Amino acid sequence: MSFSPLRPAGLLSVLLLAASPAVAQEKAFQEKTFQDKAVPLSKGDVQLSLAPVVKRAAPSVVNVYATHVEKRSARSSAMDEFMRRFFGEDRPGGSGRPGGAPGERAQRSLGSGVIVDGSGLVITNNHVIADMNEVKVSLADKREFEAQIVLRDPRTDLAVLKIKTPADIAPMPIGDSDHLEVGDFVLAIGNPFGVGQTVTQGIVSALARTQVGSSDYQFFIQTDAAINPGNSGGALVDLQGRLVGVNTAIYSQSGGSHGIGFAIPASMIRAVVDAAKTGGSLVRRPWLGARVQSVTPDIAESVGLDRPTGVLVASMQAKSPAEEAGLKRGDVILSIDGQNVDDPEAFGYRFALKGITGTAQFGILRGTRRQTIPVKLGPAPETRPRDALKVKTRTPFAGATLVNTSPAVGEELQADLPEEGVAVSSVEDGSLANRAGFKKGDVIVAVNGMPVTSTKDLDRLTQRSFGLWEVSINRGGETLTSVFGG
């Protein structure tokens, strides 16, 4: 495509067009429209403000200050003091705590939160308070309270705090995120960059966004309201002043807002808050006992679907709710209790909200026939004790926490695990296990040719001195073997 400069002939064409009947008709329509408009008679006729919504919602949004205080040896403390004098309080890896007590090292985190219950419950992001042991909450009116961490849910990146001495607080009602539509106006309220409570306005840009990568359940509300670091845990509010999401992530190449922010929907927030209200320290979710995968265009065509939608049942565990309900390998799950599921992320999100009692109705396609089958809801069973092992001896496993496998462990780690085995549940950054390449969800199969079926087996082996460690693991169904020095 090329562009040419305007010429006098173009002007002639415009003049001829202006004299046409269609243009005359358009001009008459515009004149009539202008005549129909009325002169504003009051301030309300010309003023549109979101201030009433902000006044209703802002008192419920709080600042969250989290600190991890670590006791240190006198020698380390002296070295920190030497480094502080030369490089300042906030040097990387320093105390980060001006005026901190000698022998202490502190890491700090700053974020936002929302009061969601009159008893003093506050919802925030788990990454705001992860690894922290001291938390304070500052209200919009500058009052400050100590808070207790009552529930952490890393799988949703949500956490629930409880203000220790609540008084005259304003909880925000939790709305229904399932009724949001693209184009709805929303407000984001939080504490970006620690400058103080800030309100930004935008619209819902998209729903059910996946592949964001900040939690196990990928089903985010996308908004163009400006969200920046420090907004994490803050409120996404509808025009009725209800909480419809918790701001959790942004898409940015510079660290600032580019108009693409993501919020955890209110339906998931409600499930986490309800768990905290009942005194739970974790959120219990239903177990299906089946592995599902995306429906590709080829699969959709082969089963008679006009587009790729739903999830394909790829495998099932014996005696699982999926098997007992009569699901079969190759079934396509299209809906849960009448709500469509388009992909594995949407399926995981919808199923996780169903609780651990009663049944859920699965709409499935088997061959060319659609049918509905009831699936019993219940938590994944602990078929044997976890017997968690934290390896401290100087071995390739040092810094890893290992547990006996079970359906409950597999559900938490989001991995297909054998009935008997030892799974890696966590790995400390910078540890020998981290440097050896172990990952969460790996299953230790054998060490130096000796099978490992329990943490007791592995504990005995780590007490021995080997010149070389030959370790076989199962990762995603593939067996890998590596050799490490002793």
372 and 425 inside one domain? no
Residue 314 and residue 329 in contact, taking contact as beta carbons nearer than 8 Å = yes
H/E run at residue 240? none
485 assigned to a ligand binding site: no
Residue 45 domain-assigned?
no
The verdict on residue 123 lying in a domain is yes
What amino acid occupies position 226? A
Into how many domains does the chain fold? 4
The band of 87, judged by pLDDT with boundaries at 50, 70 and 90, is very low
Comparing CA positions, the residue from 373, 301, 302 lying closest to residue 333 is 373
pTM of the shown model: 0.72
Q: What is the pLDDT of residue 35?
A: 52
More confident residue, 197 or 45: 197
Report if residue 1 sits inside a domain.
no
Pure H helices in 88-230: 126-129
Asked whether the predicted pLDDT for residue 93 surpasses 50, the reply is no
- 246 and 182 in a common domain: yes
Residue 4 assigned ligand-binding role: no
The confidence score (pLDDT) of residue 90 equals: 41
Give the CA dihedral 215, 220, 222, 223, nearest 10 degrees.
-90
Residues serving a catalytic function are 127, 157, 232
Is 69 in the same domain as 103?
yes
Q: Determine if residue 231 is labeled as part of a ligand binding site.
A: yes
Structure tokens at 340: 């469509």
Q: Which residue has the tokens 């701001």?
A: 247
Q: What is the pLDDT of residue 466?
A: 84
The least confident of 78-87, 257-266, 354-363, 430-439 is 78-87
Same-domain status, 372 and 414:
no
From 328, 344, 376, the end of a domain falls on 376
Is 41 a domain residue?
Answer: no
Residue 157 among known ligand-binding residues: yes
Look at residue 46 in the predicted model and tell me its pLDDT: 56
The verdict on 365 and 415 lying in the same domain is no
- Average pLDDT estimate for 439-460: 92
pLDDT tens figures, 359-387: 999 999 998 899 999 999 999 998 889 99
Q: Has residue 80 got a pLDDT over 50?
A: no
Alpha carbon distance 268, 281 (integer Å): 16
Q: At residue 200, what are phi and psi to the nearest 5 degrees?
A: -125, 155
For residue 295, the domain's CATH number is 2.30.42.10
129: domain range? 59-163
Residue 79 and residue 115 in one domain: yes
When computed from its CA atoms, the radius of gyration of the chain, rounded to whole angstroms, is 29
Considering the domain architecture, whether residues 67 and 159 belong to the same structural domain is answered as yes
The answer as to whether 19 is a domain residue is: no
State residue 188's pLDDT score. 93
- The answer to whether the beta carbons of residues 231 and 110 sit under 8 Å apart is no
Let me know if residue 13 belongs to a domain: no
| 296 plus 370 within the same structural domain | yes
Q: Of 108, 135, 163, which closes a domain? A: 163
- Same domain for 439 and 461, yes or no, is yes
Closest CA to 331 of 316, 346, 351: 316
181 and 149 share a domain?
Answer: no
**Given 163, 188, 207, which residue is the final one in a domain?**
163
Is 201 within the bounds of a domain?
yes
**CATH of residue 140:** 2.40.10.10
Look at residue 331 in the predicted model and tell me its pLDDT.
Answer: 94
Whether 319 has a pLDDT exceeding 60, the answer reads yes
- Same domain for 214 and 150: no
Question: Is 381 inside any structural domain?
Answer: no
DSSP element (H, E) containing 396: none
**When comparing pLDDT for 99 and 169, which is higher?**
169
> Per-residue pLDDT averaged across 81-108, rounded?
45
Are residue 326 and residue 254 in the same domain, yes or no?
A: no
